[in-house]
Structure 1
Amino acid sequence: MIERVVPSNPGAFQQAFEAWAADQHGAGVLRKAGAREVYQAMWDSFAAWCLGQSPVVRIHTVDQRDLHAFQSARYGRKATDQSLSPRYALRLMRLIERVLAHHAERTGSRPNRAPADWVRAHPHVRYAESERADPPPEVLTPQEARLLLAHLWAARPRPGQDPAALASLPWQEIRNRASVALQLGAGLAPSDVRALTLASPVMNGVGPQARTWKLRVPANGTIRARETPVAPWAAELLHHWLHVREAARVGGEFLFPSTRTGKPWLADSQYQCARKVLEAAGVGSRGGAGGSFRLRHTFALRQLRRGSRPEMVARWMGVAPAEMKRYDRVVPGPETVV
């Protein structure tokens, strides 16, 4: 039995864990009896240590020195649950890494690499579970993809559609669906969506028939500037959004601004808008509080299954080629792609 150490005034630490746990539960990862309690106890021990330091270690300032001090402080405790073993240390660091990564995505802050760097610096911990693999990336099922595409496509003109129904959609709704379409159809992270400008779409022709075939994604945070292809169905919705944007006289240089005057789209607002799109499509419950990470993973999986080189997919997504290894266990075998 793991003893739960409840931190005083947990604040941001508890909020970060609860948001992560909600996403994991919605994705079916934390549905086993007692699983959430185990992770909660592990996280609480870390939060209690951080908040017990002088000065207090804040969730957005955790670094390798803090993690080393935290692990060192655990030695000397009486533990009958093997909580000081390398395998437990690895599980704890992976939990800290995932909660901090989820917190960064949700708040639009820079990802914290300290937990991963700490694990790499301690080989006896890093390879403690070499015979076991991490859970595969969470992706949309074929049925979920079809539901989401049907919902997104309903926001663009098509034969047999009631014009009045389309006209009733506010420009913000078209923006929201187009931005979600690019997360799934171009592998964009939420921060990428907010960084896009009117110069980002690259057209494959001129005139009324021209369509976007790739995007120039500006550098943002730790992600370098890059180019990524756009699925044709997503390009169609983007094309419609550009018309709606012009007709609504939305200003500014951002492709997806927050206001009609062109103000940038803040992280929390965009996060909530993406969540509402997924919920309206009928796939939000599995994704918990947003689930946009599944869209990006689905893009990567689709490209790999179509034969794209992992190095190329990594370049499109703005990540290190080594990160493509996480898809090795889910790439084999046929599956419907979008």
Structure 2
Amino acid sequence: MPAGLTLSLFDDAPPPRHAAVFKEAFEAWLADQRGSGLLRREGSIAVYEDMWEAFAAWCLGQSPVVALPSLDLADLQAFQAARFGRKTSDLSLTPRYALRLMRLIDRVLRHHASRNEAPLNTAAADWIKASPEMRYADAAHADPLPDYLSVGEARQLIAFLSAARPRPGASRDALAAMTWQEVRNRASVALQLGAGLTPGDVRALTLESVIAHAGRVSERPWKLLVPGNGNSPARETPIAPWAAELLQHWLTVRADAGITGLFIFPSTRTGKQWQKPSQYECAKRVLEEAGMDSREGGSFRLRHTFALRQLRRGTSPQQVAAWLGIEAAKMKRYERVLPGVIDVV
């Protein structure tokens, strides 16, 4: 509000009323997105909730309060400026995060206006137009280069993972001492590197996902049917032979342990689905035990290594994209790093 203007009585309205508008606007938009099937992943929903909560907290903390209907370009510029000066690891400082947040605000504003038959507030859309460096933050050339394992790291990890299955010269005592959870953890990480799976894919796999017939080796899995989700369709992906052998061993351990249910990698003997926090910690522990460092990107480095390996072998970007369950256009990020990759396993 321009300096020098006096506040009206309505500007002194209790903050709870404004807070209710922010909450109702977001929850109505979210319910509509869920109902139409456009937003299903709980992880994505949590990110949007955190984004909106931070934005609403800033608006409600201003004096006078920044009300949703009167939100303007200057408010959004002030909000973005307030994000700076925080810890350097704060994702809200990145152009891609800022763009994603502004798009969220714009969508909620549009939904709120339509739902209440009110004038459309284009403040967020105006902010994007006025910020060209943010406007193209999600362009292919702006994508961060994928992090991947070096040849030595990949070989080291494969050797560590494979030690969980019977091999010539392997210590039977060491294998017998491993719990079924330890074998599960290593087999699940093996599929991230050997089949290009995401952590979510790993948790969603069922026994029906395993394809063993018509393969080169009798009864050994050779490809997976990965269930679809709200962001990608169901797909097939091949399994590297070493990972397939470990998966085959895990299925034997799973049966011997009397584990029930349909999920390949359950969290309990009764077959309960593996949850994200637990699976993340287990994968992290496997990588640490294998001697891998804790760089950002976590186990997604394994999926990126799979993609680069396939491209190095001459597989078309379109085919690799189909195996990964992503759009072919997103393969450009791998093509940008591929010339510098001497070899990947």
- Does TM-score exceed 0.5, indicating one fold? yes
What are the ranges of 5 or more consecutive residues in structure 2 without an aligned counterpart? 1-50, 62-67, 86-91, 108-123
Output the CA distance in 2 between the equivalents of 1:164 and 1:304. 39
> Which letter maps to 2:260?
G
Match of 2:283 in 1: 274
Return closer, same or farther for 1:132/1:315 CA change in 2, 3 Å cut-off: closer
Match of 1:230 in 2: 239
Contact persistence 2:140–2:330 (CA under 8 A): no
The CA deviation string for residues 209-268 of structure 1, in whole angstroms up to 9 with x for no partner, is 321111001112322111111111110100100110111111101011110010100111
The 3-state SS of whatever aligns with 2:263 is coil
Output the CA distance in 2 between the equivalents of 1:92 and 1:327. 21
- Among residues 313, 317, 321, which one is paired with 1:314 in the alignment? 321
Return closer, same or farther for 1:206/1:225 CA change in 2, 3 Å cut-off: closer
Q: What TM-score do the two structures reach when normalised by structure 2?
A: 0.65
- Among residues 299, 302, 307, which one is paired with 1:300 in the alignment? 307
**2:98 aligned with 1:93:** no
User: How far does residue 335 in structure 1 lie from its aligned partner after superposition?
Assistant: 2.7
Output the CA distance in 2 between the equivalents of 1:260 and 1:186. 25
User: How far does residue 322 in structure 1 lie from its aligned partner after superposition?
Assistant: 1.2
- The answer to which structure has the higher helix fraction is 2
Match of 1:327 in 2: 334
- Among residues 253, 264, 269, which one is paired with 2:273 in the alignment? 264
Match of 1:201 in 2: 210
Question: For this pair of structures, how many residues does the alignment match?
Answer: 261
The 3-state SS of whatever aligns with 1:240 is helix
**2:58 aligned with 1:52:** yes
Match of 2:154 in 1: 145
Output the CA distance in 2 between the equivalents of 1:220 and 1:70. 36
Output the CA distance in 1 between the equivalents of 2:204 and 2:142. 34
User: How far does residue 97 in structure 1 lie from its aligned partner after superposition?
Assistant: 7.1
Return closer, same or farther for 1:333/1:250 CA change in 2, 3 Å cut-off: same
Return closer, same or farther for 1:129/1:236 CA change in 2, 3 Å cut-off: closer
Output the CA distance in 1 between the equivalents of 2:209 and 2:73. 45
Aligned ranges for residues 30-179 of structure 1 at < 5 Å? 49-53=55-59, 73-75=75-77, 92-96=94-98, 114=104, 122=129, 124=132, 125-127=134-136, 133-179=142-188
Output the CA distance in 1 between the equivalents of 2:266 and 2:79. 52
> Which letter maps to 1:256?
F
Output the CA distance in 2 between the equivalents of 1:196 and 1:259. 15
The 3-state SS of whatever aligns with 1:311 is helix
Output the CA distance in 2 between the equivalents of 1:329 and 1:255. 35
The CA deviation string for residues 172-208 of structure 1, in whole angstroms up to 9 with x for no partner, is 0000000000011111111110110001111144898
> Which letter maps to 2:58?
G
Q: Could you list the runs of 4 or more consecutive aligned residues of structure 1 that deviate by over 6 angstroms after TM superposition?
A: 76-79, 128-132
User: How far does residue 326 in structure 1 lie from its aligned partner after superposition?
Assistant: 0.9
Q: What TM-score do the two structures reach when normalised by structure 1?
A: 0.66
Contact persistence 2:140–2:333 (CA under 8 A): no
User: How far does residue 327 in structure 1 lie from its aligned partner after superposition?
Assistant: 1.1
**Which structure is higher in RCO with an 8 Å CA cutoff and minimum separation 6?**
1
> Which letter maps to 1:310?
P
Output the CA distance in 2 between the equivalents of 1:91 and 1:330. 25
Return closer, same or farther for 1:273/1:76 CA change in 2, 3 Å cut-off: closer
- Among residues 247, 250, 260, which one is paired with 1:241 in the alignment? 250
Identical pairs, percent: 54
> Which letter maps to 2:230?
G
Match of 1:184 in 2: 193
The 3-state SS of whatever aligns with 1:216 is strand
Output the CA distance in 2 between the equivalents of 1:46 and 1:318. 29
